[in-house]
Amino acid sequence: MDYNEGIAAAYVPNVLSKDRDEQVWPPDVEAVFLQAIEAIPKLGRRKILVNGKPCGRNELISDYIYRKTGKLRTRKQVSSHIQVLKNTRKNDPQFMRLLTDTSDSDTLIDPFLYESQTACATPFNFYSELQMGDWAPSLPSWPLTFDPHAEPALWPFSVHLCLDNSDATSCLLAQWQYQPPISIFMKDPAFLQIKCPWRDICQLVARLPPNCPFLWNHVTMAIPMHLIFEESQFRSSNVLLANKLRAIKCTTYVYSFGVCVLESTDMQQPKDHHASGYLYDFCLINPFFEAFLKGIRTLTTCEEVSAAIDHLCMVQLYEDANTNQPLLVVLFIFQQGMCGNIQLIALSR
């Protein structure tokens, strides 16, 4: 018997609401509900975009039940059922852990990362199913393999994000210095924090050769809100190292709250020579980020600023300009913080 079945077998409804619960939550719906609370992470006040609509956890549970059973249970019905279970199962700490938001749930860097000592459906498969719908099946496995000992055709060399003002002051928002592939931490894509539609990621991954690096850049920007002025200018340096001379094309997709708001293509020859190859410098669409920073300056609360930054995402695809061979993919996610650094992770299973 697995954990879900164990919960279902142990669950005894409150006597006073037994008839009503049996009508609204018959065994088949209850079993799927238990699967849902096991698979869907506690989000606190956070919401997840599903087909462009921001959804809280109860709405995701409602949607999960409908997809699995074809029976509609509203967000309010889910909420009411959870409250009943909190009373009837309050002496079961393991079960309560699935229902109750902790203080940590509002500060999780990765709202899709749900660690459990019990086996459960992975967030990767669940959110693939939710956001792709019937468009395509979920990826059964991550098809890309990262070999830290192999020489990459293209690799990040350095990243600097700055804000310049007319009085010659410059604020460093975030930076990253070269690390060889062998020193990069690897992460299972099952716990990828996704802020753009899964269908876009699936389409992109399907185009890549198995050995193409797919990197995840977690950018923590130290943004001095009091130093953003109308004349402020965003400046970025995004330097990459290629192992041989070639023209490189970079296609950039910018997402805000799950919607692709900008697509841009840039083609470059090397800017400089390095002992290990050739250096290219692709900026991060400076006009967009400059407008973005000036836009968040007008927001009235810290929560609104954090939400705007947290729901920003950028994907860059680098290809050989002559052959269209994919060389590298970098996914940037952003958050506001004090440190102003960038964590680079390679996705691999």
Output the CA torsion 206→211→212→217 (10° steps): 110
Work out the percent of the chain whose per-residue pLDDT is above 70: 78
Q: Which of 343, 134, 321 is nearest to 219 (CA)?
A: 343
Return the pLDDT at 345.
92
Cα 119–chain centre separation: 22
CA distance 256 to 131: 16
Q: Model-level pTM?
A: 0.62
CA distance 333 to 347: 14
DSSP 322: T
Average pLDDT of the residues of the chain: 79
The b/e string for 177-191 (b: 16+ C-beta within 10 A; e otherwise) is: eeeebeebeebebee
Position 25 pLDDT exceeds 80: yes
175 strand-pairing partners: 160, 341
**C-alpha distance from residue 318 to each of 28, 120, 179, 282, 327 (Å):** 48, 35, 19, 10, 6
Return the pLDDT at 48.
66
Return the pLDDT at 109.
27
Tokens of 241: 């190292």
pLDDT in tens, 267-313: 999 999 888 899 999 988 888 899 989 888 888 888 888 888 988 99
Which residues, 6 or more positions from 157, have their beta carbon under 8 angstroms from its beta carbon? 178, 239, 240, 241, 274, 279
Which residues, 6 or more positions from 194, have their beta carbon under 8 angstroms from its beta carbon? 112, 127, 131, 201
pLDDT in tens, 129-183: 444 333 333 445 678 889 999 999 999 999 999 999 887 788 999 999 999 999 9
